[in-house]
A = this chain, B = another copy of it.
Amino acid sequence: MDDDNADFLLRLDNQFCFALYALSRKITAEYRPLLDAIGLTYPQYLVMLVLWEVQGNATSDEFPGVPVKFVGERLLLDTGTLTPLLKRLEANGLIQRKRSETDEREVRIRLTAAGLQLKEQARQIPLQMLCNSGLPVDRVAALQQELRSLLSAVCERDNET
C-alpha cells in the first residue's frame, strides 16, 4: 500500500473506533443529569438494571441474590471494576453484599428495599432519554440492533480463544 492510502486509513474521521468511542461518551453524558437526580453514576445504573431485572419485585428476604460473577458477565466488567462499585452501592444502601453459605467463594448481591424502590424513579429515564435525544426512534432501534449484532460477534470470537 502506498502512503496516500495509509494516510487515508489513519485519518481520525475514518476511524470506526473513534466514532464509537466519542458517541458512547456523548450518550453517557446525556444520562448524567437524569442519573445525578437519583444518585447513580452510569455504570452503577447498569448494575441496577441487571439487579432490577433479575430480582423482580422480590424482597431481599425472598431473593437469594446473584453472584458478582453474574453481574460481571452481563455487563462485561471484571471484579477490579465491580468490587469497588458494588461497595459504593452498598454504602449508599441500595444493595447488600453477602458471602454465600453454600459456596464460600461467592459474594451474592441483592437489592435492599431502597434499591427496589429506586426502580420507580428510574422508570421514566429510558423514555426521557429518547425524547431528549430528539433522534428518530426507528433509526436508534436499527442502530442498536446492529451494535448488538457486532457485539455478539466479537464476544463469540473471544470465547473461542
Contact = CB atoms under 8 A, between A and B. Distances in A.
Copy total for this chain: 2
B151 A19 contact: yes
Interface residues of A, number: 59
A35 to B, nearest CB: 11
Interface in A101-153: 119, 122-124, 126-127, 129, 133-135, 139-141, 143-144, 146-148, 150-151, 153
A126 B23 contact: no
Contacts of A19: 144, 147-148, 151
B150 A135 contact: yes
A155 B135 CA distance: 13
A92 interface: no
Nearest to A8: B126
A82 B134 CA distance: 30
Contacts of A26: 76, 151, 154-155, 158
Interface string A30-53: 110000000000100010011011
A103 to B, nearest CB: 25
Given A15-B126, A17-B27, 18 more contacts: A3-B123, A10-B126, A12-B46, A12-B53, A14-B126, A16-B140, A17-B129, A18-B49, A18-B75, A19-B148, A20-B23, A20-B147, A21-B46, A23-B151, A23-B154, A26-B155, A27-B154, A143-B150
3 A-B pairs with least C-beta separation: A19-B147, A9-B126, A6-B123
